[in-house]
């Protein structure tokens, strides 16, 4: 059902300020920076070798990342599982009694289809299901 951990989402106040730790100090490769308007976030993907890191910066106060930073401060926000046939995975989880935040996938970074599992069903961890469009992409 789950293919792998695709990325770990980390909430930051400023990507510009957070990035040197990853690129200069830890010497990891920056894959890309993009804005996901629908989510009100700017994201930076970093190549962590076996898993990507996704830095999330709020674009405005309506962003859920803004709320997260206000409540909890910077830190790990979610863990994303790579899946295929995401709608089937959602339905399967619901059949097994898992509560979903999203009953249908929505568009995330890179145009991927994403859906979040409610942390009440997962010991307080926010998990994302993520299905990439161009599966051939090797990053
Ligand atoms: Zn994510």
Ligand 1 centroid vs 96 CA: distance in angstroms?
23
- Calculate the alpha carbon distances from 47 to 74, 107, 138 in Å: 20, 21, 11
Ligand 1 centroid vs 118 CA: distance in angstroms?
14
Ligand 1 centroid vs 78 CA: distance in angstroms?
7
pLDDT grade for 100, boundaries at 50, 70 and 90: very high
User: For 28-43, how does the pLDDT look when each residue is reduced to its tens digit (9 = 90+)?
Assistant: 999 999 999 888 999 9
- Residue 120 DSSP one-character state: G
**pLDDT above 50: residue 138:** no
- DSSP bridge partners of 8: 53, 79
User: For 54-69, how does the pLDDT look when each residue is reduced to its tens digit (9 = 90+)?
Assistant: 999 999 999 999 999 9
**pLDDT above 60: residue 22:** yes
Query: Residue 47 CA to chain centroid, in angstroms?
Result: 14
Ligand 1 centroid vs 7 CA: distance in angstroms?
6
Ligand 1 centroid vs 102 CA: distance in angstroms?
14
Average pLDDT over residues 63-88: 97
Domain positions in the chain: 4-131
Q: What is the pTM of this model?
A: 0.92
**pLDDT above 90: residue 135:** no
Q: Report residue 88 as tokens.
A: 């089937």
User: Beta-carbon neighbour count of residue 78 at 10 Å?
Assistant: 21
**pLDDT above 90: residue 139:** no
Ligand 1 centroid vs 51 CA: distance in angstroms?
12
Q: Into which CATH architecture does domain 4-131 fall?
A: Roll (3.10)
Average pLDDT over residues 128-137: 78
Ligand 1 centroid vs 117 CA: distance in angstroms?
12
């Amino acid at each position: 059902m789950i293919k792998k951990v695709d990325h770990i989402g980390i909430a930051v106040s400023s990507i510009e300020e957070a990035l040197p730790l990853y690129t200069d100090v830890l010497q990891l490769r920056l894959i890309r920076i993009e804005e996901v308007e629908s989510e009100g976030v700017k994201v930076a993907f970093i190549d962590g070798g076996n898993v990507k890191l996704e830095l999330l910066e709020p674009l405005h106060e309506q962003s859920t990342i803004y709320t997260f930073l206000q409540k909890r401060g910077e830190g790990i926000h979610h863990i994303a599982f790579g899946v295929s046939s995401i709608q089937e995975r959602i339905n399967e989880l619901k059949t097994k009694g898992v509560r979903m935040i999203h009953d249908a996938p929505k568009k995330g970074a890179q145009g991927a289809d994403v859906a979040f599992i409610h942390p009440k069903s997962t010991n307080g961890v926010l998990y994302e299901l993520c299905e990439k469009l161009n599966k051939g992409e090797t990053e």
